[in-house]
Amino acid sequence: MAILCASTSTIFSSSERTSFGSLKKTIPSNQSSFLGFFPVAALSKPGSVLPTTLSFSKRDFRVCFQDLSLVPENQRWMFEESEADGPDIWNNTWYPKAKDHINTEKTWYIVDATDKILGRLASTIAVHIRGKNLATYTPSVDMGAFVIVVNAEKVAVSGKKRTQKLYRRHSGRPGGMKVETFNQLQQRIPERIIEHAVRGMLPKGRLGRALFNHLKVYKGPDHPHDAQKPIELPIRDKRVQKQR
Amino acid sequence: MNKKEILKLAKGFRGRAKNCIRIARERVEKALQYSYRDRRNKKRDMRSLWIQRINAGTRQHGVNYGNFMHGLMKENIQLNRKVLSEISMREPYSFKALVDISRNAFPGNKNVVLPTRKADISINV
């Protein structure tokens, strides 16, 4: 577990854990400048495999500063006594800096909406976009991932919602209420169904509106984001698939 | 406080509240009230943030926050939530060890304790 600060290594035995730095799957070489850990190529992790290895990507703990534990002697006068070994990470709650949430380095997920229950799918998507599945979650900062939804016209709902669920909007003028059923909206603009569902589950505010832009919904099975190499969205809800 | 002190405290306020003493006085009073209240709220908010982070970290291992803390209490591990959240971010392997300890101590509601097994569990504890 190659974490930068020398102080952390004294807490648990460091010698065993430096060899565990190998769990990281892909470490692009151009980013290791401020990561500071040892990119070991071997991927052997003995014993139990963690359920979501993605959570152990370097992004989650790209939290540290540059290694100041070795402050040179002639510069020690600049630091207070308590900070001479580097900033205190165990008594201060971590807050992400700009380099911890760069948009171009976030994970991209893809999910196929075919025969998935609308609300359950939207809930999982919203959790991933918000970043609540990460240990580095911060409410004021966008730490979440991007999510691509394909086959949006095939999303399923249970019961009689297909004909009875109403989508309303108001133009602002008197008598300007427009009402549509699920079916009609699905014929017209199928992406809007999933967008409406996810938008209701994201926070309302400036940050929520910015998070909503991280959701990309498409009608067919194709999407233009192959360059981002999206991975499969892990859904833990057991009842998300519509029972036939 | 005289006007100079108030206007000094009103730096960064919006509009006339940073310039004109009558408006600035009101806003500064309110700001000081808020800061008094928020010094107490900050402790609550921080703890809530730690709990959210621990929850996210443990759910990655399939255990939710409530069961995790219950297991830690059973094992008499007295790490506080601040430290646990920092461990979950910076030391994932140590955190996984803690989750395993908790899971052994308290497997969760799925393994419902049958009446016949209560004697065994009490012996272990």
Give the pLDDT confidence score for residue B1 in this predicted structure.
Answer: 66
**Cα–Cα distance, A131 to A138 (Å, whole number):** 8
- Chain A, nearest residue to B90 by Cα: A61
Give the pLDDT confidence score for residue A32 in this predicted structure.
Answer: 36
Give the tens place of pLDDT for each residue, A114-160: 999 999 999 999 999 999 999 999 999 999 999 999 999 999 999 99
Which domains does chain A show, CATH number per domain?
A: 106-232 (3.90.1180.10)
Say yes or no: B57 contacts chain A, CB-CB below 8 A: yes
Structural domain harbouring B71? 3-109
CB within 8 Å: B86 and A50: no
Instruction: Suggest the residue from B47, B65, B85, B90 to mutate for an interface test with chain A (most A CBs closer than 10 A).
Output: B90
Q: Indicate if the pLDDT at residue B56 is higher than 70.
A: yes
Distance from chain centroid for Cα B57: 13
Q: Indicate if the pLDDT at residue A24 is higher than 50.
A: no
DSSP state of B112: P
Does B38 fall in a domain?
Answer: yes
A6 φ, ψ to 5°? -70, -25
CB within 8 Å: B93 and A63: no
Number of domains within chain B? 1
Does B59 fall in a domain?
Answer: yes
Does B85 fall in a domain?
Answer: yes
Q: Grade residue A77 by pLDDT with cuts at 50, 70 and 90.
A: confident
Does B29 fall in a domain?
Answer: yes
Give the pLDDT confidence score for residue A89 in this predicted structure.
Answer: 86
**Cα–Cα distance, A217 to A191 (Å, whole number):** 6
Q: Which of B68, B113, B66, B61 is nearest to B92 (CA)?
A: B61
Other Cβ atoms closer than 10 A to A36:
15
A91 interaction partners in chain B (CB closer than 8 Å): 82
Identity of the residue in B46, B57, B95 whose CB atom sits nearest the CB atom of A93: B46
Does B117 fall in a domain?
Answer: no
Q: Which of B42, B12, B41, B40 is nearest to B24 (CA)?
A: B12
Give the pLDDT confidence score for residue B101 in this predicted structure.
Answer: 94
B60 interaction partners in chain A (CB closer than 8 Å): 50-52, 55, 133, 135
Q: Which residues pair with A170 in a beta bridge?
A: A177
Give the tens place of pLDDT for each residue, B63-83: 999 999 999 999 999 999 999
Distances (CA, A) of B20 to A68, B5, B24: 46, 13, 6
Identity of the residue in A3, A89, A137 whose CB atom sits nearest the CB atom of B53: A137
Q: Which residue has the higher pLDDT, A25 or B98?
A: B98
B94 interaction partners in chain A (CB closer than 8 Å): 1, 11-12
**Cα–Cα distance, B111 to B121 (Å, whole number):** 13
Say yes or no: B52 contacts chain A, CB-CB below 8 A: yes
**Cα–Cα distance, A134 to B106 (Å, whole number):** 23
Q: What is the CATH number of the domain that holds B17?
A: 1.10.1900.20
ipTM of the complex as predicted: 0.80
Instruction: Suggest the residue from B43, B86, B98, B104 to mutate for an interface test with chain A (most A CBs closer than 10 A).
Output: B86
Give the pLDDT confidence score for residue B87 in this predicted structure.
Answer: 94
Which residues, 6 or more positions from A173, have their beta carbon under 8 angstroms from its beta carbon?
none
A3 interaction partners in chain B (CB closer than 8 Å): 90-91
Q: Grade residue B40 by pLDDT with cuts at 50, 70 and 90.
A: very high
From the number of C-beta atoms within 10 Å of its C-beta (0-12, 13-18, 19+), residue A108 rates as middle
Q: Which residue has the higher pLDDT, A72 or B105?
A: B105
Q: Grade residue A243 by pLDDT with cuts at 50, 70 and 90.
A: confident
Does B122 fall in a domain?
Answer: no
**Cα–Cα distance, A135 to A218 (Å, whole number):** 30
Distances (CA, A) of A163 to A151, A182, B25, B95: 20, 6, 59, 48
Q: Which residues pair with A117 in a beta bridge?
A: A156
**Cα–Cα distance, A151 to A194 (Å, whole number):** 11
- Chain A, nearest residue to B49 by Cα: A138
> Which amino acid does the sequence have at A110?
I
Which residues, 6 or more positions from A199, have their beta carbon under 8 angstroms from its beta carbon?
A212
Identity of the residue in B82, B90, B92 whose CB atom sits nearest the CB atom of A8: B90
Q: How far does A53 lie from chain B, in Å, by closest CA? A: 9
CB within 8 Å: A93 and B93: no
Contact (Cβ atoms closer than 8 angstroms) between residue A96 and residue A136: yes
Say yes or no: B35 contacts chain A, CB-CB below 8 A: no
